[in-house]
Amino acid sequence: MRLSRRQLVAAVPAAALAGARPARAQDGRTVITYWYGAANAAGQAALQHDLVEAFNASQSQWRLVMEVKGGAINNLLRVALLAGNGPDIVQTNGPSYLTPIATAGQVLALDDLAQKYGWKDAFLPALLNTDVFGGKLYALPRDYESMHLFYNKAMFAENGWKLPTNRAEMEAVAEAALAKGIVPFGNGNADWKGVNEWLLTVFINNVAGPDTVRRALTGELPWTAAPFVEAIDLSKSWYQKGYFGKNYFSLAGEQAFMQAVNGKAAMVMSGSWAFGYIGAGMNKPDTVMDVVPVPTLGSAFTGGLYQLGCGATMSIARNSPNVEGVVAMFNFIQTEGFYQAMNRDWPGKWTIPVKNLSPAMLKGIGYPLFEKAIADMHDAFESGKYGFTTWTFWPGATETYLIDGIEQVWLNRATTADYLTKMNSMFQQEMKEGKVPPIPPRTA
């Protein structure tokens, strides 16, 4: 049932609307408010210490107050902004989430501020441009992301397996793992169904090739084209062969990842955020894990590929009376000290896409594997040699169907043709409605 504006507002607790932005703290500072989505214990601790407390200690005019809202953040934001309330700092889960908020005029255009504070020169253009709609900048990108191939290097060495560089070699390792009772890829979506699109980002880009994907995202090629049929068919084949294990739908993401660390899985296709699985041993000097870009799975290109992703955008609410305070916070997160601290304590979530990623920015993180991945992604995104993540460049309804519908294909409840035909129809409609995020150029 479609709710009216009044019903939507009534559905949110009053505390989430009225009084969400107190004017003054007890010490007389002006309060700026920030709602955050989901964060584990380590993430919440890092946010409180490295962002909130550090920013508040860096100046005496503003007091940042953060509330962790959990999985309900998107609905809470949508309703609060519709009612003209909500936080000063509006964080979304990426450009596809920002699009409706920006086009509805619920956040400020940042062009004048970007000019004044040099933000357009400070950020990587490929990331910054994903937040431009109708020629105006509405957000700053909080991070950059890509999918990676994490693998148990000790297991590979013990079994004499070659690090795969193409589909045939990937499948050879997968079959060898299955023969030993080892799960080829430690993935699971019990706690986050979006794991489906992590995998599809790999299959679509690494089979069809990034240039073909870009042609589809700009409307030059339908999603029913042969390269995408091959990509979806391959994903189905790997699922049905058991490459993702027997417990894909019952294991949470970190649980599934731990299989690789503990020698129960050979590889994992996961995103940059997996570096934050500190409890899984990812950042220990003697870790058994290593990481590379996911290799080609088709004939469109050779080598590995990073897919350009933005995990979150940060805007200023249209009705915020504290624009200067938000600007101060936006400038703070670009500093070397914040970059080092946050990426040390919660790796993979706050890789601010600064244009000038100097060695000094990485120094002090103390996580060589992560530092190398950050630098390599930065080089790829700066040079235009990247693919396109679904959570950054697919419009909202199409992305949702991409995630939900693929399970029907894997479980033989829908055909690849049916799936891609519906996805193409939804995408074309959203493109007509102007809901497709900006698609940056790339270099072959």
Dump pLDDT digits (tens) for 274-319.
Answer: 998 876 667 666 778 999 999 999 999 999 999 999 999 999 999 9
9-18, 34-43, 101-110, 137-146: the lowest-pLDDT one: 9-18
Instruction: State the average pLDDT over residues 199-214.
Output: 98
Residue 156, pLDDT score: 97
Does residue 93 sit in the same domain as residue 176? no
Residue 56 belongs to some domain of the structure: yes
Does residue 321 sit in the same domain as residue 293? no
Task: Please tell me the pTM assigned to this model.
Answer: 0.90
The confidence band for 360, taking pLDDT boundaries of 50, 70 and 90, is confident
Instruction: State the average pLDDT over residues 107-112.
Output: 98
The confidence band for 264, taking pLDDT boundaries of 50, 70 and 90, is very high
Closest CA to 269 of 255, 281, 256: 256
Residue 66 belongs to some domain of the structure: yes
Does residue 74 sit in the same domain as residue 98? yes
Separation of first and last alpha carbons in the chain: 46
SS3 299: coil
Residue 442 belongs to some domain of the structure: no
Tell me which amino acid residue 165 is. T
Q: What is the DSSP string of 406-420?
A: HHHHHTTSS-HHHHH
Instruction: State the average pLDDT over residues 306-334.
Output: 97
SS3 171: helix
As given in the structure block, the two tokens for residue 371 are: 């530092």
Does residue 403 sit in the same domain as residue 291? yes
Instruction: State the average pLDDT over residues 330-334.
Output: 97
Does residue 28 sit in the same domain as residue 10? yes
Does residue 300 sit in the same domain as residue 411? yes
Closest CA to 275 of 179, 351, 335: 351
Geometric angle at alpha carbon 106, from 101 and 107, rounded to 5°: 90
Residue 96, pLDDT score: 86
Residue 30 belongs to some domain of the structure: yes
SS3 350: coil
Question: Can you name the residues that pair with 91 across neighbouring β-strands?
Answer: 314
Residues in CB range of 160: below 8 A, 6 or more apart:
none
Phi-psi region of 80 (alpha: psi -120 to 50; beta: other; left: phi over 0): alpha
As given in the structure block, the two tokens for residue 295 are: 């290799």
Phi-psi region of 309 (alpha: psi -120 to 50; beta: other; left: phi over 0): beta
Residues in CB range of 279: below 8 A, 6 or more apart:
42, 254
The confidence band for 371, taking pLDDT boundaries of 50, 70 and 90, is very high
* Spatial separation of the C-alpha atoms in residues 357 and 378, rounded to whole Å: 8
Sheet holding 89-92, edge to edge: 62-68, 30-36, 89-92, 313-316, 140-141
Does residue 357 sit in the same domain as residue 260? no
Residue 111 belongs to some domain of the structure: yes
As given in the structure block, the two tokens for residue 67 are: 């509330």
Does residue 20 sit in the same domain as residue 107? yes
Does residue 58 sit in the same domain as residue 133? yes
Higher-pLDDT residue of 390, 78: 390
Residue 314 belongs to some domain of the structure: yes
Residue ranges in 293-351 assigned as alpha helix (H): 323-332, 336-345
As given in the structure block, the two tokens for residue 80 are: 């609060």
* Spatial separation of the C-alpha atoms in residues 216 and 214, rounded to whole Å: 5
Residue 379 confidence (pLDDT) above 80:
yes
Instruction: State the average pLDDT over residues 142-153.
Output: 97
Give the pairing type, strands 307-308 and 30-36.
unpaired
Residue 353 belongs to some domain of the structure: yes
Instruction: Judge contact between 166 and 295, C-beta under 8 A.
Output: yes
Residue 246, pLDDT score: 96
Share above pLDDT 90 across residues of the chain, in percent, rounded to a whole number: 80
Instruction: Judge contact between 279 and 365, C-beta under 8 A.
Output: no
Instruction: State the average pLDDT over residues 237-243.
Output: 98
Residue 12 confidence (pLDDT) above 50:
no
Does residue 170 sit in the same domain as residue 219? yes
SS3 387: strand
Residue 11, pLDDT score: 35
The confidence band for 74, taking pLDDT boundaries of 50, 70 and 90, is confident
Residue 440 confidence (pLDDT) above 50:
yes
The confidence band for 5, taking pLDDT boundaries of 50, 70 and 90, is very low
Burial of 155 (0-12, 13-18, 19+ CB in 10 A): buried
The CATH number of whichever domain residue 416 belongs to comes to 3.40.190.10
Does residue 288 sit in the same domain as residue 320? no
Count of C-beta atoms within a 10 Å radius of residue 84:
12
Instruction: Judge contact between 143 and 118, C-beta under 8 A.
Output: no
Does residue 16 sit in the same domain as residue 127? yes
Number of domains in the chain: 2
Residue 280, pLDDT score: 65
Most confident of 4-13, 77-86, 259-268: 259-268
Domain range enclosing 428:
147-305+394-432
Residues in CB range of 381: below 8 A, 6 or more apart:
124, 126, 127, 144, 306, 308, 353
Where are any strands of DSSP class E within 113-262? Answer: 132-133, 136-137, 140-141, 147-152, 183-185
Residue 17, pLDDT score: 38
Instruction: State the average pLDDT over residues 242-267.
Output: 95
Residue 284, pLDDT score: 67
Residue 403 belongs to some domain of the structure: yes
Residue 47 DSSP code? I
Instruction: Judge contact between 326 and 89, C-beta under 8 A.
Output: yes
